[in-house]
Every structure is written in structure tokens, then in C-alpha cells.
Chain A
Amino acid sequence: MSEMVTIERRAAVEHLLQNRDNMLVVCGLGSSTYDVYAAGDHHANFYLWGAMGGAGMIGLGLAIAEPDRQVMVITGDGEALMGIGALATVAAQKPNNLSIVVLDNEHFGETGMQEKPYLTWCRPCRRLPLAVGLLVVRQSMIMMFLMLLPINRMTQLVRVWPW
């Protein structure tokens, strides 16, 4: 079993976007869009404030269209859950230029901080490889955060703060 690590979301997103070169960024509605904007507006950002559940698939279409550029989706746990089937779709395509980063605050932040009344995003992540494929879950979703941390364990989970 892995330990849970909490990191500060604004700093984490800012770190992810440092030295981005020509990377394209799609961010899901709500706090993740605010996080990405707070890290500095950029012409290669596509901000969502609706179309909930669509961020990952916008990223997939973009990654296939632009195979020579890195694409990063930064979204929240609620947004990702609403389109959770997209993880299976992405895993089947295996785009090697797409990263999906899920900021898990264990709440539905945009709608009033309701608690998420079921397993946190991190827990399903450990189970998803059985159904979804290791590539997405390990490399795209979790590895991006691992790069921020002095930890090598593939199953390290990250919870973000503040909510």
C-alpha cells in the first residue's frame, strides 16, 4: 500500500507548467482552470468552464492531431469522474504525448465543497489498471506528480490542498 501525500495545488500546477516549451494545455472546469490561469496565461492554454467530463477527450483529440507536441490535461477529480470512461478510451489509443493530471481534493469544489461520498480518486487509480491499462494510470496520471516528489514508487498517491 502506498502513503498519501498532500501538496499545495497552485504550487503544484505552477511547477508542472514551468519550462512547458510548446506544450498544449487543456484544463477542466472549476478550480483546475483557475490554477492553470494563476500559473500565467498562455496562448496554448484551452480553458474550460463547462462541458464537464470532456477535458480528457479534448486532450486526446488534440494529442492525436498534434503528435509532435506534448499535451497536458489538468483537471479535477469530479470532472474526471464525470467522464471516467474516457480513461478507457485514452488507454486504448495509448497516445505517448498526452498526460492527464487529476487534482484530487476529495470534494466537489466548484459546487460548494460537498464531500465526495465514495472512494477518493486515488483509490480507484490503483484498481483501474485491471480494467483500463497501466499506461494511462501510471505514466500519464500519476507520474506527472511523481516527478514533483522525491519518491519512486509508482503507486504514490497525491492529494491536493487547499480545496
Chain B
Amino acid sequence: MAVSTPHIWEDDIYNAFKKAGISQIPYVPDAGHAHLIRRVHDDPDMTPIVLTTEEEGIASSCGAWLGGKKSVLLMQSSGVGNCVNMLSLVTNCNFPFVTIVSMRGEYGEFNSWQVPMARATPTSFEMMGVEVMRCNSPEEVGPTVDAALYAAFASEQKIAILLSQRLIGRKEW
């Protein structure tokens, strides 16, 4: 299996994490975040938490905040639907929350199974009170993540950043 080529904007995300003091990174393994995940594993100040399902990362992020630490959840669009009820923890307790979602099922998708959840991704977040921000081009990523982290942890916002499939690149079969 090929390892994805690192994107410059993945380093921008990592740098935004460092600036904001993010220390816990729960994630479901995903090619779109592969380089970022490797960087997190290499950083002794960050704890990567590999999950069996995405909603675990909602709960662990809230636990981290209860302990005074900042967390960002990484996942792919196919896992967003798993999170819906667990997001009630975020909204009910008014926790800050940031997730970065790599999109499949849109630009040039070869796998039709990715499409339904991709189309429902923004709605799933919005119906649970999570603001959706989208990055379509590489230069948007760093500033968007930086702004989202600042807003979330300064004013208890709940934000999902969607990384477009056009940005990540078409996955060829």
C-alpha cells in the first residue's frame, strides 16, 4: 500500500497545533492525515490516541479539557455520522471542540460507498450545533486551523474543519 505524499499544509496544521498548545490528538487512521499523524507521533509533547471509532475522540477531547488540556480530533468524513449523539456531550456541557475532517466522497471519488456520508457531513455537524469551516486550497489551511483553535479554546466554540477532497487529492484505484 502506498504511503501518501506529505502535503505542505499538513505541516501548517501541525504548526498551528504547536502554537495553540494542543497536547492530545485522538484519531482514526486516515490517509489524508497520514503525514500529520506521523508528526504527532514524533512529538514528545503530544499524545496520539488511536481510536476504534470516531465518537471515542469526542469523549476523550472533553475529558482532556476537564483536565485543562487541549485536544483536536482527526477523522475522515465517513466517520462523522458515528459522532452525532456523542456531540451532545460537547453542546450540553459547552466544551470547546475542534475536529479536522479529511473529505472523501466528493471530488473525483471512485468509491460510491464514500458518497452518502460525505454529502451528509456538513449537515451532521450543523444539526448538533458544530460550526463548519471548509478548506479548498492549500493556503487556506494554516490560517483556518489557527483561527478555529483560537476561537474554540478562547470562547468555547465547537468547530469542524473540512479538508476538501480537491485539496487532499483524488485517490486513484
Contact = CB atoms under 8 A, between A and B. Distances in A.
A50 B89 contact: yes
A122 interface: no
Contacts of A56: 59
A48 B52 CA distance: 22
Contact of B56 (A46, A48, A64, A83): A83
Most buried by B among A53, A58, A85, A86: A58
B89 A65 contact: no
A64 B52 contact: no
Interface in B25-55: 26, 47, 49-53, 55
Interface stretch (A88-96, A112-120, A140-148): A88-96
Interface string B80-95: 0000011011001000
A62 B67 contact: yes
A46 B59 CA distance: 13
Grouping DSSP codes into helix (H, G, I), strand (E, B) and loop, the A interface class, with mixed when no group exceeds half, is helix
Interface of A: 24, 26, 46, 48, 50-66, 83, 85-86, 88-89, 92-93
A60 B49 contact: yes
B62 interface: yes
A59 B60 CA distance: 7
A61 B24 contact: yes
A65 B21 CA distance: 13
A85 B24 contact: no
Nearest to B87: A51
B130 to A, nearest CB: 15
A85 to B, nearest CB: 3
A65 B24 contact: yes
Contacts of B53: 85
